Amino acid sequence: MKFKFLFAAILSGIMFTVNAKENLNIQVKSTDLAGQQVFLGQYYMSKLYTKDSIMLDKNGRGTFVSKEKYPEGLYVMYFSDSKYFDVLLSDKQQFTIKIDTTDIPKNIVFEGAEETKAFHDYSQFLLQKQINGKALNERKKQSKDSSEIKSIEAELDLLNIEVKTRQNDLMAQYKGGMLELFLKELVVPEFKETELPAGSKNPDSIKAINRYVFYKQHYFDNVDFSDERTYRTPYIGNTLQLYLDKVLVQSYDSIIPPAINLIERSKGSEKAFQSMCSFMLDYSLKSKIMGMDSLMVTIGRKYYLSGEAKWADSTLLSNLAKEIKKIDKSLVGMKAKNIALCDTLGQYHSIYDMGGSQLTILFFYEPSCGHCKKTSPLLRDFYDKYKDDPRIKVIAVYMLTDQEEWMKFLKEIKMENMTNVWDPHRTSYYWQWYDTSSTPMIYVLDKDYKVFAKKIDVETLEMIAKYELK
């Protein structure tokens, strides 16, 4: 197993005391922070939210009390920018912590909360191992003696074994508890190289592919996404983002199936299901990867518009339905609608008839649009470069109905020689078949008139043409 190191949080001075009458009782004591406000923050999907706050009295004391237990997870007790610490809340939430704030994090004592104490001790243990590992790696970097390097590598291996052993022991000791669940988030299954058959061609490529397939399938083997506690740490959101951005191939068709699989794995709890759906929906909306709007459409239809997302209100569902309707007919990989548009001489032509043999470029624009004014000359230059190549065709679509404005713009930008079309009577309904809600909008269709790329700039268009027409 390969383990990620947990970087221990900075600790600060507090006291938790036991009160059998409450399900949660946290008494804070810090003499150097008298009269100051103390915040209790809760991690959720890598973000930190304020859970509660109290004001310490003149003696530096105050108490967090609740008749209901707080959800299990990782929390932050915050006093100031330099005085705060992470604390794990397990099922047992009545305990004591004593700390001397002049020496953080060493002088801290836990009483009555073994799991919480174990988390703190483990954090300090990892911090020290991190320091030791950094020093060893620096020595290795500076050393030119092969025997010394070998010795340092042996020390690093031993250090890693110590970490693994400590982590495994804690997971066994607190099986089913918050600490075990949290530690499992830090564990990534280790890929083991296998011997390739003698004479294998491109062994490095084969190994890379095998490694990719392994981590794609097994990266989260140790994580229970159906347990809502999984999401109450600062790590799971970042780990999911790392998996989607770095582990997987950065293409929509490589990301969508694993993303849906993770959502399905979260269905054991409604809150867990909501967390994963919301994360993936947000990811799909913010992603810069071309075609990732297909993930939004898939999630929207499969979980939200189907009624599975019971937490979603009418406003969210309505907005999502509108967005899906706007883009679902022009997703990457779909065959583009063969609409008819009118040229400058009043003749109508279908997109398929006007297109190139390999690539068809659709450029939707409005003369009054500032970005269109900047993009149009660049597209004209692109056209001039490929105008004699039958494999590629550029079709510029004027989106308004003012012919005088259109002609003036074509002359001004020197686009007259391009294939220029418009829809004067608004009969093609192109806006229903192509998402033109923002301009300029560039679509690239392949030889079968499937959407190859969209919402790209001319620089990206140049790269596509260079690659596809080589």
In the sheet that holds 37-44, the strands lie side by side as 47-55, 37-44, 73-80, 83-89
Same domain, 28 and 53: yes
Read out DSSP for 256-274? Answer: HHHHHHHHHHTTTSHHHHH
Same domain, 352 and 460: yes
State the total domains in the chain: 3
Average pLDDT, the chain: 89
pLDDT at 58 over 50: yes
Is 224 contained in some domain?
Answer: no
Same domain, 281 and 369: no
Give the residue from 328, 351, 374 where a domain finishes: 328
d(CA 212, CA 226): 25
> What's residue 21's pLDDT?
52
> What's residue 30's pLDDT?
74
Give the residue from 271, 303, 328 where a domain finishes: 328
Give the residue from 123, 140, 156 where a domain finishes: 123
> What's residue 17's pLDDT?
39
> What's residue 4's pLDDT?
39
Torsion of CA 259, 249, 286, 429, to 10 degrees: -90
Is 437 contained in some domain?
Answer: yes
**Residues 328-367: tens digit of each pLDDT:** 999 999 999 999 999 999 999 999 999 999 999 999 999 9
* Beta-bridge mates of residue 432: none
172 vs 18: which has the higher pLDDT? 172
Domain extent at residue 24: 2-123
> What's residue 105's pLDDT?
67
Residue 109 to residues 26, 27, 116, 128, 319, Cα–Cα distance (Å): 14, 14, 11, 18, 52
Cβ proximity of 428 and 309 under 8 Å: no
Torsion of CA 13, 19, 22, 25, to 10 degrees: 0
pLDDT tier at 323, thresholds 50, 70, 90: very high
pLDDT at 7 over 60: no
pLDDT at 2 over 70: no
Same domain, 286 and 374: no
Poorest-confidence range of 200-214, 298-312, 404-418? 200-214
Same domain, 392 and 459: yes
Across the range 287-304, mean pLDDT stands at 95
User: What CATH number is associated with residue 118?
Assistant: 2.60.40
> What's residue 22's pLDDT?
61
> What's residue 192's pLDDT?
80
Same domain, 22 and 115: yes
Please state, for a pLDDT cut of 90, what percent of the chain lies above it.
72
Same domain, 24 and 116: yes
pLDDT tier at 38, thresholds 50, 70, 90: confident
Instruction: Tell me the torsion sign for CA atoms 259, 451, 335, 468.
Output: negative
> What's residue 210's pLDDT?
87
Q: What tokens were used for 409? A: 């713009």
User: What CATH number is associated with residue 395?
Assistant: 3.40.30.10
Same domain, 351 and 313: no
Is 79 contained in some domain?
Answer: yes
Instruction: Tally Cβ neighbours within 10 Å of residue 272.
Output: 20
pLDDT at 3 over 50: no
pTM: 0.84
Same domain, 104 and 72: yes
**Residues 168-219: tens digit of each pLDDT:** 999 999 999 999 999 998 888 888 877 767 666 777 788 888 888 889 999 9
pLDDT tier at 1, thresholds 50, 70, 90: very low
Same domain, 353 and 320: no
164 vs 205: which has the higher pLDDT? 164
Is 237 contained in some domain?
Answer: no
> What's residue 429's pLDDT?
95
d(CA 470, CA 468): 6
Same domain, 59 and 117: yes
Please state, for a pLDDT cut of 70, what percent of the chain lies above it.
93
